[in-house]
Amino acid sequence: EADIYQTPRYLVIGTGKKITLECSQTMGHDKMYWYQQDPGMELHLIHYSYGVNSTEKGDLSSESTVSRIRTEHFPLTLESARPSHTSQYLCASSESGTGFTGELFFGEGSRLTVL
């Protein structure tokens, strides 16, 4: 089983609140990712990191921010939540490697509802 954990699993919060979604992995993977997925829809990459102190924006514009201070930890923050941020957020990690994309290990997701 993959050792990647997301908290909280479910969060209902009011508009304007600041939230942080936590993601931790114990596999020592350098690469980590955040995806956004609406029910029944495709995954969209919103942030990724090659390693400590590295963060990049994905193909889907997002008002969220991320940080990577430790290898195992990749939190996502929304400074002021809005109803349009309601979605499922999936964290993933992979090994650094050459010659192949590397298996993505996903957490169980954080389902965010903004009222």
**Three-state secondary structure string covering the chain:** CCCEEEECCEEEECCCCCEEEEEEECCCCCEEEEEEECCCCCEEEEEEECCCCCCEECCCCCCCEECCCECCECCEEECCCCHHHCEEEEEEEECCCCCCCCCCEECCCEEEEEC
Among 58, 65, 73, 86, binds other proteins (CB under 8 A): 58
Closer to other proteins at the Cβ: 8 or 16? 8
Closer to other proteins at the Cβ: 14 or 59? 59
Closer to other proteins at the Cβ: 20 or 55? 55
Task: Say if CB 48 and CB 60 are below 8 A apart.
Answer: no
Among 25, 33, 85, 112, binds other proteins (CB under 8 A): 33
Taking CB under 8 A as the binding criterion, the range among 13-21, 44-52, 64-72, 73-81 that sits at the site for other proteins is 44-52
Q: Considering the complex, what minimum distance in angstroms separates the CB of residue 36 from other proteins?
A: 11
Among 46, 90, 112, 114, binds other proteins (CB under 8 A): 90
